[in-house]
Structure 1
Amino acid sequence: MTHFVLVAGARLGASAWDEVAAELRAAGHRPHPLTLSGLAEKRDVPAGQRTHVRDIVDLVERLDLRDVVLVGHSYAGVPVGQAAERLGDRLARVVFVDSEVPVDGESFLSGRPSDHIRREIADNDGFWPPAGADHYAGQGLTDEQIARIVDRSTPHPGATLTEPAVLTRPLGELPATYIKCLLDDEEPMPVVTELVASGHWELVEMDTGHWPMFSRPAELAGILAARGRTTPS
């Protein structure tokens, strides 16, 4: 049996993983969906990038989890990648789901056109506001699935997007799987391409959009479960 710590991307909390978590439980695993500080039911908790890394590490240590697979979607790949290298022998694998990955000294917004996001954060009291339904078009989602994402979204604390990541060793040393969702973009970002080409990371493709926990939860859960360990019968 494997413990899966599931962390959703910007604006979303633990409920984003409801269907994936149910599939993992049915497969004999223990999912631990995590809401990061400043989001969803923890909306009133102040948060920066360091806070989100601590959220993940604290959950694993508080529950004394072993054989942990950390799963980070979209933005959450940045704190998940940093947390993974802090877990030592508790970590079995880290899975990046169509996500950013941390680069030492760079933030989530580094290396991308970000002026509009920074303006939105400045105009909304330090928070990145939720996106409307149009943002999710063309991503393999039904209208009902889009409505659920919009309904579950909350403003995202801007400091977590602008503070730099801190890595203590090369990211490529982590046992990692990168899941690329092809409707979002057919090619992973250059840093991921380099890590996969080095032979240390595994690349898995999904023919769906950027939110596979909503569009293809059973398929995503199957990919995750295949990288876990089940209890012998």
Structure 2
Amino acid sequence: MAEFVLVAGAWLGSSAWDEVVAPLRAAGHGVHALTLSGLAEKRGVPAGQQTHVQDIVDEVERHDLRGVVLVGHSYAGIPVGQAAERIGDRLSRVVFVDSEVPVDGGSFASGWWQGQAAFEAQLADNGGDWAPASVADVDGQGLTDEQIARLLGGATPHPGATLTEPAVLSRPLGELPATYIKCLLDGPEPNDTVASLLTSDRWRLVTMDTGHWPMFSQPAELARILLAEAA
């Protein structure tokens, strides 16, 4: 039996995984969907990036979890990748769902496609937080109107410090047992950092024919992949 720890990306809390949790539990696994500090029902709790790393480590240690499959979506790949190193032999596998990955000394902002300055200007314009996605931002991502309503209805501003603080890695990320799930509607190829990591014999690539939020658009298929990766 695996213990899944599920961490959604920017703006989202544990409820993002609601339709993934049931099939994982039905298969006999433990499931722990986690809301990071400062988001959803924890909105207002001060948080930097290392707060989010500690949130994940604390969840694993508090429940004394073993055989852990850490799952990080989007932004959450950055704290999940760091936490995966820190939980040691409790880790079975880390799964990155169309996510960013931590780069030692780098941040989410430093990898922003328009440049770090442009991203930090967005934060400054929104009182230091990253404003939630709009309907236009999720267009073309394989979501129904109902799924879009659920996604955006559960979104809250994302604490800016978690996006600008640097990651801290103690060893190469390629040494971790890892799976990267690439959602093809969000781009056909992983970014260069992920492509380099996928040359490791401990990493493997899985693709999904959907957009960036598969826990909403294809939850049953995502659960099937996660179950396969835990086997």
Which residue pairs with 1:122 in the alignment?
A: 124
Deviation at 1:199, TM superposition (A): 2.3
Residue type of the alignment partner of 1:217:
P
* Residue 94, structure 1, aligned to residue 126, structure 2: no
Structure 1 runs of 4+ with >6 Å offset: none
2: distance between equivalents of 1:46 and 1:186? Answer: 36
Q: Which has the larger displacement, 192-201 or 133-142? A: 192-201
Question: What is the match of residue 183 of structure 1?
Answer: 185
Task: Give the match's secondary structure for 1:95.
Answer: strand
Aligned to 1:169: 171
Contact 2:175 2:200 in 1 (8 A): no
User: What is the letter of the counterpart of residue 208 of structure 1?
Assistant: T
1:104 maps to amino acid: D
Residue 222 of structure 2 corresponds to which residue in structure 1?
Answer: 220
Shift of 1:200: 2.2
Q: CA-to-partner distance for each residue in 1:39-90, whole Å, 9 max, x for gaps?
A: 0000011000010000000000000000000000000000000000001110
Q: Say which is worse superposed, 189-198 or 86-95, in terms of deviation.
A: 189-198
Distance 1:211 1:29 in 2: 23
Q: 1:135-179 CA distances to partner (integer Å, 9 max, x unpaired)?
A: 100000001101111100000000000000000000000000000
Contact 2:19 2:219 in 1 (8 A): yes
The 1-side partners of 2:71 and 2:111 are apart by 23
Give the distance between the partners of 2:221 and 2:111, measured in 1 at CA. Answer: 31
TM-score for both structures, normalised by structure 1: 0.96
Displacement of 1:26 in angstroms is 1.2
Q: State the AA in 2 paired with 1:219.
A: E
Mapped to 2, the partners of 1:58 and 1:155 lie a distance apart of: 23
The match for 2:196 is 194
After the TM superposition, which residues 99-178 of structure 1 pair with which residues of structure 2 at under 5 Å, given as runs?
Answer: 99-112=99-112, 113=114, 114-178=116-180
Q: How far apart in 1 are the matches of 2:9 and 2:2?
A: 22
Structure 1: distance between partners of 2:18 and 2:104: 32
> What is residue 27 of structure 2 aligned with on the other side?
27
Amino acid at match of 2:171: R
Q: CA RMSD in A?
A: 0.9
Q: Deviations for 1:192-213, whole angstroms, at most 9, x for unmatched residues?
A: 1111123220100000000000
Partner residue, 1:44: 44
Q: Hey, what's the Cα distance between the residues in 1 that align with 2:44 and 2:221?
A: 34
Asked if structure 1 preserves the Cα contact closer than 8 Å seen for 2:74 and 2:98, the reply is yes
Which residue is 2:64 aligned to?
A: 64
Distance 1:71 1:139 in 2: 20
Unmatched segments (≥5 aa) in structure 2:
none
Offset, 1:224: 0.4
Query: Counterpart of 1:75 in 2: which secondary structure?
Result: helix
Per-residue deviation at 1:228?
A: 1.8
> Per-residue deviation at 1:121?
1.1
Where does the alignment leave 5 or more consecutive residues of structure 1 unmatched?
none
Paired AA for residue 71 in structure 1: V
Structure 2: which amino acid aligns with 1:136? V
Q: Name the TM-score, length of structure 2 as normaliser.
A: 0.97
Query: The residue matched to 1:110 in structure 2 has which SS?
Result: helix
Identity %: 72
